[in-house]
Amino acid sequence: MTSLSPSLSLEKITVHGEGNSAQKDIVTELDGPVTKFGTQLWKIVRALRPSAFAEGRRIVHVTYNDRYLRGPLTARLLFDAWRTMPLCDAQTRLDIVSEAMGQEGRPGYLLWHNWENDTLRSDVLAGMFPGAGVRLGTKADCAHARSFRLTFDDGGEITVFLDQGFGAWRDASPRATRFAHDRLPKDQARDLEKLRFDVVLQDGGKFPSPIWVRW
On whether the CB atoms of residues 66 and 105 are closer than 8 A, the answer is no
Q: What is the DSSP string of 10-27?
A: HHHHHHH-TTSEEEEEES
Give 43's Cβ-side CA count (13 Å radius): 8
| 91 located within any domain | yes
Alpha carbons 212 and 23: distance in angstroms, whole number: 4
Residue 183 forms part of a structural domain: yes
pTM of the entire structure?
0.89
Number of domains in the chain: 1
Per-residue pLDDT of the chain (215 residues; tens, 9 = 90+): 444 444 444 444 444 445 699 999 999 999 999 999 999 999 999 999 999 999 999 999 999 999 999 999 999 999 999 999 999 999 999 999 999 998 888 999 999 999 999 999 999 999 999 999 999 999 988 999 999 999 999 999 999 999 999 999 999 999 999 999 999 999 999 999 999 999 999 998 899 999 999 99
Domain membership of residue 5 (yes or no) is: no
Range of the domain at 60: 30-214
Pairing outcome for strands 209-214 and 93-99: unpaired
8 Å CB contact between 69 and 77: no
The answer to whether position 52 is within a domain reads yes
- DSSP-derived secondary structure letter, 208: -
- Look at residue 137 and tell me if it is in a domain: yes
CATH value at residue 137: 3.30.870
According to the model, what pLDDT value does residue 16 have? 47
With respect to residue 13, please indicate whether it lies within any of the assigned structural domains: no
The pLDDT assigned to 102 comes to: 84
**DSSP state letter for 51:** G
Q: Is residue 7 part of a domain?
A: no
Three-state secondary-structure class, residue 109: coil
Please check whether residue 164 is in contact with residue 209, taking contact to mean a CB–CB distance below 8 angstroms. yes
